[in-house]
Structure 1
Amino acid sequence: MSFKIAIIGAGSVGFTKKLFTDILCVPEFKDIEFALTDVSEHNLQMIKAILDRIVEANRLPTRVTATADRRKALEGARYVISCVRVGGLEAYADDIRIPLKYGIDQCVGDTICAGGILYGQRNIPVILDFCKDIREVAETNVKFLNYANPMAMNTWAAIEYGKVDTVGLCHGVQHGAEQIAEVLGAKSTQELDYVCSGINHQTWFIDLRLNGRPIGKDELVAAFEAHPVYSQQEKLRIDVLKRFGVYSTESNGHLSEYLPWYRKRPDEITRWIDMSDWIHGETGGYLRYSTETRNWFETEYPQFLEAASKPIDRAKRSNEHASHILEALETNRVYRGHFNVKNNGVITNLPQDAIIESPGFVDRFGINMAAGITLPEACAATCIASINVQRMSVHAAISGDIDLLKLAVLHDPLVGAVSTPEEVWQMVDEMVVAQAAWLPQYAHAVPAARERLSTSQVKTREWAGAARRSVRSIEELRAEKAALKQAG
């Protein structure tokens, strides 16, 4: 087979390498072309050197090109994969820093909440630019695979306004299934059957079976509470399981910021989170992790390049959906996964226009969703609150309506539990002014926002958050990795 895959945001070096090696685990795909594009020429050349080394080491005819010219990369592409972060870590730092001044403590801030909403405002105009280029220069029946957050908002915009065949992809379901299999004593997730449905980062294991035997709430609660690690790291997640009756796919830290109950007071935050790793609820945890990862990669790049000389091990193909979807579409080997698509009746008690994440099957005819799923009422209620925020956020990003943007932030569950309307109005003004370089649709609103900020009487505070850790130096990371290696 010979076709072209374009990867936008290919400078996300580690993730691009994973997708690349996964796809080349499919024997029929050895003769394809990967076209890499990114706004960072530096990152683009680093990832191209790594992928070229993999191709050379495995003696493959695979072609790898790299260009900052996005349209050139998209020309003739059958598949387009996006893993962009518009504004990079600079804008992301404001997504965390500014809301903290108003008492809003986020662990990740990339889905909803104040940070996720502004992240969507930066991404959506760029996503629509991608879609325009895709429609004009890619293959006629091109498929757009979006990995970029905020997943639901980006996918919503690409489908509804970009008019491109789009599917959103995430790995939260797979990670949740791995945890469940472990606490139940399964040898692998192959022993586990499940239906997991909802919206991205708020998906629920509504039907769970181990070797065909149904697993109920009480058994699952007992299994998690008996686990020596998860009982401490996933306290909030276990509490939601007890109250809702089903387990959420999302990590302790992620889940905490989508609900209005667990992060609204500093003492509650420290009660429910765990500081053993960023993903369990640390203030700005993913920002710290991302910063450390970038610094580590820049310093240790020669080692990454050397590691690329090893043969591809097909047994280590990851559970990221992309390679499996492409394999199913091109070879007709059926794949079952969980995909982000427009609802259109798939989940009976969620809005029809929402982007849902639910099970589907892929073959040569496309992605075929399992329809007629009904969520438990509490799960549906939680999802609908987020969907309403997502819908307003998408419409605000498209229209550049700063008042609608403020209403979207005001209706966010965690923001509403913490901040007053006056605080929300000022916070959004502050974020739009700080991020104006990445928000062209709000250019007309920036002067007035800046003027309001100069005369505002709303008080703020400089606050690091309830559970903030400092970014570790390269030396600290090396020492930690060496200690873990010695212990293991």
Structure 2
Amino acid sequence: MSFKIAIIGAGSVGFTKKLFTDILCVPEFRDVEFALTDLSERNLQMIKSILDRVVEFNRLPTKVTATTDRRAALEGARYIISCVRVGGLEAYADDIRIPLKYGIDQCVGDTICAGGILYGQRNIPVILDFCKDILEVAEPGAKFLNYANPMAMNTWAAIEYGKVDTVGLCHGVQHGADQIAEVLGAKSRTELDYICSGINHQTWFIDLRLNGRKIGKDELVAAFEAHPVYSQQEKLRIDVLKRFGVYSTESNGHLSEYLPWYRKRPDEITRWIDMSDWIHGETGGYLRYSTETRNWFETEFPQFLESAARPIDPAKRSNEHASHILEALETNRVYRGHFNVKNNGIVTNLPQDAIIESPGFVDRFGINMAAGITLPEACAATCTSSINVQRMSVHAAISGDIDLLKLAVLHDPLVGAVSTPEEVWQMVDEMVVAQARWLPQYAEAVPAAKERLSKSRIKTREWAGAARRDVRSIDELRAEKTALKQAV
């Protein structure tokens, strides 16, 4: 088989390499062309060097190109994969820093909450540019696979306004299933069957079967509480399981941002999180991790290049959905996964226009979702709160309506639990002014926002958050990696 795959934001080096090697685990895909595109010429050449090394070592006919000309990369592509982070770490730092001045402590800030909403405002105009190019120069009927956050908002905009065949992809369901299989003592995840549904980052394991036997709430709670690691790392997640009756796919830190109950006071934050790794609730944890990862890659690039000279091992193919979807569409080998698509009746008690994440099957006929799923009422209520925020955020990003943007942030569950309307109005003004270069739709609103900020008397504070850690140096990272190797 010979077709073209374009990867936008290919400078996300580790993730691009994973997608690349996963796809090449499919024997029929040896002759595929990969077209890499990114704003950074330097990052593009680094990742191309790595992928060229993989191709050369494995003696494959695979073609890899790299260009900063996005339309050239998209020309004739059958599949387009997006891994973009508009504004990079510079804008992301403001997503965390500015809300902290108003008492809003985020672990990740890339889905909803103040940071996630502004992230969506930066991404959506760019996503629509992608869609325009796809319709104009890609292969007719090309499929857009969006991995970029905020997943629901990006996918919503691409489907509703970009008019491109789009599916949103995430790995939260797979990671949650791995945990459940482990605590229940399964020999492998293949022993666990499940139905998981909801919205991205708020998906719920509503039916669990271990070797065909149904697993109830009490058994699952007991299994997690008995686990020596997860009982400490997932305290908030276990508490939600006890109260809602079902387990959430999302990590302790991520889940804490979407609910109004666990991060609204500093003493409550430290009670529910775990500092053994960023993902369990650390303030700005993902920003720190992303910064360290970038610094490590730039310093240790020769090591990454050397490690690329290894055989592609199909046994080590990851559980990221992309390669499996492409394999099913092209070869008719059926794949079951969990996908982000427009609801349209798939989940009965969520809004029809929402982007839901739910089970589906892929074959040559496309992605076929299992319809008629009904969530437990508490899960549906929590998801609906987020969907309302997402809808307003998408509409604000499309229209450039700063008042609607402020209303979206005001209705965010965690923001509403922490901040007053006056604080929200000022915070949004401050974020829009700080990120103006990535927010072209708000250009006309920026001067008035600056004027309001110059006259504001609302007090803010310089606060690092309830559980902030400093970015580690390369030497510190090396020492930690060496210690881990010695421990193993």
TM-score (norm 2): 1.00
Cα deviations by residue, 1:185-231 (Å, 9 ceiling, x for unpaired): 00111000000000000000000000000000000000000000000
Displacement of 1:58 in angstroms is: 0.3
- Which residue in 2 is equivalent to 1:418? 418
2:40 aligned with 1:31: no
2:429 aligned with 1:435: no
Q: Describe the SS at the equivalent of 2:356.
A: strand
C-alpha separation in 2, matches of 1:245 and 1:460 = 39
2:486 aligned with 1:475: no
Cα deviations by residue, 1:52-88 (Å, 9 ceiling, x for unpaired): 0000000000000000000000000000000000000
C-alpha separation in 1, matches of 2:286 and 2:214 = 35
Q: Describe the SS at the equivalent of 1:154.
A: helix
Cα deviations by residue, 1:421-459 (Å, 9 ceiling, x for unpaired): 000000000000000000000000000000000000111
Cα deviations by residue, 1:454-482 (Å, 9 ceiling, x for unpaired): 00011100000000000000000000000
C-alpha separation in 1, matches of 2:140 and 2:478 = 48
Cα deviations by residue, 1:158-191 (Å, 9 ceiling, x for unpaired): 0000000000000000000000000000011100
C-alpha separation in 1, matches of 2:41 and 2:447 = 33
C-alpha separation in 2, matches of 1:273 and 1:310 = 38
- Which residue in 2 is equivalent to 1:385? 385
Cα deviations by residue, 1:1-40 (Å, 9 ceiling, x for unpaired): 0000000000000000000000000000000100000001
Instruction: State the percentage of identical aligned residues.
Output: 92
Cα deviations by residue, 1:245-301 (Å, 9 ceiling, x for unpaired): 000000000000000000000000000000000000000000000000000000110
C-alpha separation in 2, matches of 1:75 and 1:477 = 41
C-alpha separation in 2, matches of 1:62 and 1:315 = 20
Q: Describe the SS at the equivalent of 2:197.
A: strand
Q: Describe the SS at the equivalent of 1:461.
A: coil
Structure 1 runs of 4+ off > 3 angstroms? none
Cα deviations by residue, 1:313-351 (Å, 9 ceiling, x for unpaired): 110000000000000000000000000000000000000
C-alpha separation in 2, matches of 1:390 and 1:231 = 32
Q: Describe the SS at the equivalent of 2:176.
A: helix
Q: Describe the SS at the equivalent of 1:257.
A: helix
Q: Describe the SS at the equivalent of 2:458.
A: coil
Unpaired runs of 5+ residues, structure 2, are none
- Which residue in 1 is equivalent to 2:172? 172
Q: Describe the SS at the equivalent of 2:392.
A: helix
Cα deviations by residue, 1:103-158 (Å, 9 ceiling, x for unpaired): 00000000000000000000000000000000000011100000000000000000
C-alpha separation in 2, matches of 1:479 and 1:79 = 41
C-alpha separation in 1, matches of 2:163 and 2:46 = 33
Q: CA RMSD in A?
A: 0.2
Q: Describe the SS at the equivalent of 2:65.
A: strand
Unpaired runs of 5+ residues, structure 1, are none
C-alpha separation in 2, matches of 1:341 and 1:32 = 26
Q: Describe the SS at the equivalent of 1:444.
A: coil
- 1:44-83 equivalences in 2 (<5 Å): 44-83=44-83
- 1:244-283 equivalences in 2 (<5 Å): 244-283=244-283
TM-score (norm 1): 1.00
Displacement of 1:46 in angstroms is: 0.3
C-alpha separation in 2, matches of 1:410 and 1:107 = 19
C-alpha separation in 1, matches of 2:291 and 2:265 = 26
- Which residue in 1 is equivalent to 2:20? 20
Cα deviations by residue, 1:363-410 (Å, 9 ceiling, x for unpaired): 000000000000000000000000000000000000000000000000
Displacement of 1:309 in angstroms is: 0.6
